[in-house]
Copies of this chain bind each other. A is one copy, B any other.
């Protein structure tokens, strides 16, 4: 997608195949900063600090990190260590483990001397596939949006599942970008998404760059707008989807899904098939939610009057910061993936 009218992807492998260029998303919306990353440790650090975030992008970044690590050492033992290090970088997004298992499985099938080159090519392939997947999600989602047959559509989204969360196009925002290309009249309610404000910092920034009408609201305001009839549908992404159609996504998704359900508003989850965790069946195997540092709630970063970016303390009280929640399938109208539009109860057919 475009930034100041220049095309970008969130991640690009260097031609010399020994580094990647990422957008440091912790600097947005105040600064657009590109960053070169050259080591495995820096890849892990950038995932943990959320310079790169979003389930699909974490997967691709980790794959590049795996390839970078293999430049030095290609033996099986080392590969196992690298795998473990990367998979434990962030626990929630299944795409990370999925990408690492795929790339490691692939390189183990070739001779050690070829492993580095193969790993790099595989990471590039995953990046390309992510783009194609998201384009397909966008087209299927566009069909859903067209089916409303309304002159103007108000879509609510939570967190950031835009192109910044993927290599390009995004998951939840891909139908919106496709609808805009199709010249539909779209307006997006962007819920701020405390604590890290990915809605107001990333989604609103993306939509502005793309020239799509949008309004930031507090997370608290989503219910009011639904009740008033100001929301035609909700589209969010996902970090992990159980085989029985339950969705782990950014904290606050569950509240919005329940209230959408109460107000008969369709609630869509857009995610690639790789987000479905074949081992995760909610009732038998409950999913552990990631708790992140309380400072994400008690500190916040913004721009001072002099234009400098600073962090201020909001509270010194004790804080609990669950980063994700689980939305039962009952509240989800459809899951949009690269293969089409599915009922959350029929995901088994996709595996």
Q: Among A192, A220, A254, A316, find the residue whose CB has the most chain B CB atoms closer than 10 A.
A: A220
Tell me which residues from 169 to 218 in chain A have a Cβ below 8 Å from any Cβ of chain B.
Answer: 190, 192-195, 197, 200-201, 204-205, 208, 214-218
Residues on B with C-beta less than 8 A from A252 are: 218-221, 223
Residues on B with C-beta less than 8 A from A200 are: 297-298, 314-315, 317
Contact of A303 with B313 in the complex, beta carbons under 8 Å: yes
Bitwise interface map of A from 217 to 232 toward B, beta carbon under 8 Å scored 1, else 0:
1111111110100000
Residues on B with C-beta less than 8 A from A319 are: 215-217
Contact of A192 with B251 in the complex, beta carbons under 8 Å: no
**Given A194-B192, A218-B219, A304-B310: A224 in contact with B316 (beta carbons within 8 A):** no
Contact of B216 with A298 in the complex, beta carbons under 8 Å: yes
Residues on B with C-beta less than 8 A from A195 are: 218, 220
Which residue of the partner chain B has the closest CB to A218? B194
Residues on B with C-beta less than 8 A from A251 are: 218, 220-221, 224
Q: Give chain B nearest CB distance to A194 CB in angstroms.
A: 4
A37 interface residue (CB < 8 Å to B): no
Contact of A302 with B312 in the complex, beta carbons under 8 Å: yes
Residues on B with C-beta less than 8 A from A82 are: none
Residues on B with C-beta less than 8 A from A259 are: 254-255, 258-259
Which residue of the partner chain B has the closest CB to A200? B315
What CA separation (Å) do A251 and B220 show in the bound complex? 6
Query: Which of B250, B300, B318, B326 meets A312, CB within 8 Å?
Result: B300
What CA separation (Å) do A317 and B218 show in the bound complex? 13
Q: Among A250, A289, A312, find the residue whose CB has the most chain B CB atoms closer than 10 A.
A: A312
Residues on B with C-beta less than 8 A from A321 are: 217-218, 221
Query: Which of B262, B289, B317 meets A258, CB within 8 Å?
Result: B262
Contact of A302 with B297 in the complex, beta carbons under 8 Å: no
Q: Among A300, A310, A317, A322, find the residue whose CB has the most chain B CB atoms closer than 10 A.
A: A317
Contact of B300 with A304 in the complex, beta carbons under 8 Å: no
A29 interface residue (CB < 8 Å to B): yes
**Given A304-B312, A314-B300: A220 in contact with B201 (beta carbons within 8 A):** no
What CA separation (Å) do A255 and B252 show in the bound complex? 10
A27 interface residue (CB < 8 Å to B): no
What CA separation (Å) do A194 and B195 show in the bound complex? 10
Residues on B with C-beta less than 8 A from A314 are: 197, 200-201, 300, 302
Residues on B with C-beta less than 8 A from A301 are: 312
Which residue of the partner chain B has the closest CB to A30? B313
Which residue of the partner chain B has the closest CB to A320? B215
Tell me which residues from 64 to 109 in chain A have a Cβ below 8 Å from any Cβ of chain B.
Answer: none
A124 interface residue (CB < 8 Å to B): no
A325 interface residue (CB < 8 Å to B): yes
What CA separation (Å) do A220 and B322 show in the bound complex? 9
Residues on B with C-beta less than 8 A from A299 are: 302
Residues on B with C-beta less than 8 A from A214 are: 317-318
Contact of A201 with B315 in the complex, beta carbons under 8 Å: yes
7 residue pairs bridging A and B, Cβ less than 8 Å apart: A193-B220, A216-B315, A217-B321, A220-B255, A227-B254, A258-B258, A258-B262
Task: Give 3 nearest A-B pairs by CB, closest first.
Answer: A220-B252, A302-B312, A204-B317
